[in-house]
Structure 1
Amino acid sequence: MTAVGTPIGKVGGATPPAARRLRRRDFTFDRVSFFLVFLIVPVVGYVVFVVSPFAQAAYYSLTNWSGFSPGMDFVGFSNYTKLFQDQTFLQSMGNSVALAIVLPLVTLGIAFLFASLITIGGPSNGPIRGLRNSSVYRVITFFPYVVPAIVIGLIWKQIYDPSSGLLNGFLTGIGLDQFTSFAWLGSPDTAMIATMFVIVWGLIGFYTVLFIAAIKGVPAEVYEAARIDGAGRLRTALTITIPLIRDNIQTAYIYMGILALDAFVYMAALNPGGGPSNTTLVMSQQLFTTAFTKGQFGYACAMGVVLALVTLMFAGVVFLVSRLTGGNDEGVAE
């Protein structure tokens, strides 16, 4: 028996041999090397290549550095004051926010539809499976994603060409003469819509495959039980599939939103000048022009800081909405 008042794990005030051996193993070579390789090195790399450049950009945003001169003057927050009085930048911010709202909803919605059809959209009788020849559809939907974004942009720019583009040629060929020499990327009414279509077309395959993998992780017994209870395909998708792959949808939404807030490659290929009346100009385009064309790196760094903050706010809103809508709840909705 241990003496009254003696801490648990000690006999007569002495540390048990097992505890001493455990303490000696705390700083073995294997343990230290493990922390060094898998914790310290990644953290140092993250600080050097992510945190440090951002901090440097934040500092430059408080100066009037031209990007090509050795000296610079500290101007405080005057770049930010000028930034929110710049109508062109404010328009580019509005375009970027519009892309971040529309593109994830459309892309992920279509991708989820395709993934559901390919995995569980088959016959109502027999085992749970997708449509016939679903592997062919999977390859077809994923194919655009393997093509580089800049190539996709250049290809679709030729397709949208008013005089010799494939799209106008097809439309006029079926009798729609109003599309003769129609400038899809040159009209303020259609430039942004045409650009969004290209981005959705290029990215939908990746998210389709992502959702296919997530849906295949759901036990087939769950879908069989829903089928026995008489749940249709729409109800199964809304009450079973979406809740069970909520984390995958949240991750995909954040990733797609970040890409939409940037969208530099697609915009540079389709609308290098920002489109008609800057209707397709995004923040990353305006940043690039300000830095490398106008030689105002300090001002451009301020744009970069604002873009980073908008991206963080977007991710925060997605997490908040997910939490408020039951993102932490487990189980299948009744």
Structure 2
Amino acid sequence: MSARRRLLAAVRRRAAGRLARPRAWLMNRLFLPRRAGRTARLRYAALLDGQTVNLHAELPGSVTEADHAEIVVLRRRHRHRVPARVYAGRDGRYLVDAAVLLGTGTRGVPVTPGRWKLRLDVGTGRRVRQFPLLLAELTKPPTGTTGPMKSSPVTADRYRLGRTVRGDARVVCAKARPAAEVVNVHIEHARIEVDLRLLGVGTHARQAEFVAAGRSVTRPLDEVEPGVWRVDVPLAEMVPTGSRRVHWDVLVHTDARTPLRLGRRLHDVQAPGRVFAMRKILVSPRRDTLMMIEPRYTPAGNLRFTCGDGAGAEQRNP
């Protein structure tokens, strides 16, 4: 992201933060009381896997019968319908459950970047009633070793749930950020082999660069299957000089102006360095040379190879 885009994003975040409190006051004090009984109130709304909106709504008491329902995703003249399940709860109030898959790459609703409203159509026979989906409170995400994904694991497009000042639920869609995502890492005694895919940029990858302090190894990229690129680097070119360990990061050069740092980010784990841990390997990339190589992910999710002298490791593990 360029410096100008980062500055604009920061300005937008600060402006949104200043407006959050007055927006909440208007919604809770003015709009919600006036709309009671005329909307379907969302009791649960979450987007956990990065691409599926899960909804549970309660219909107003005026609905005394219903046999079919649909979620309508709309923006301007575009409207997409997704079937929903409608049923009577224990107290007689009608409830609706729905799962709305988003994105053409997932064969879901073909939403484009922008804000999309959510509406509910409920019918009995040929009669159909329309209700706004009211999101009075945002569902709190679960806490633990995993959390909600911020991007689609398939396309890396970004979706989030929001609401208007009147409380209507909506989905905000944004394109994938440019990224190079790790698919597979394989280490042999003589080389490292990494498979990757590109997201949010053109599909043409030119080369990969393994960089360390004062050192660089450039290698070509080969497309091994549609959308998947492979790079291999000889371990002999990564041997550290002296006893100091060397940290190697991987940059992917495409048609974009700046290279992409290779990493793993399309996941829902909170500690990728521990969950996606890989074992250390003792190799001999040159005659009479032992090297310990440790592949890992940094806290930012970047792939890193740490190479160090392996002679001490051999002595500790005869």
**Aligning the two structures, in what range does the TM-score lie when normalised by the shorter sequence?**
under 0.3
Higher helix share: 1
TM normalised by structure 1 equals 0.24
Which structure's relative contact order is higher, taking Cα pairs within 8 Å and 6+ residues apart?
1
Higher strand share: 2
Between structure 1 and structure 2, the one with the greater Rg is 1
TM normalised by structure 2 equals 0.25
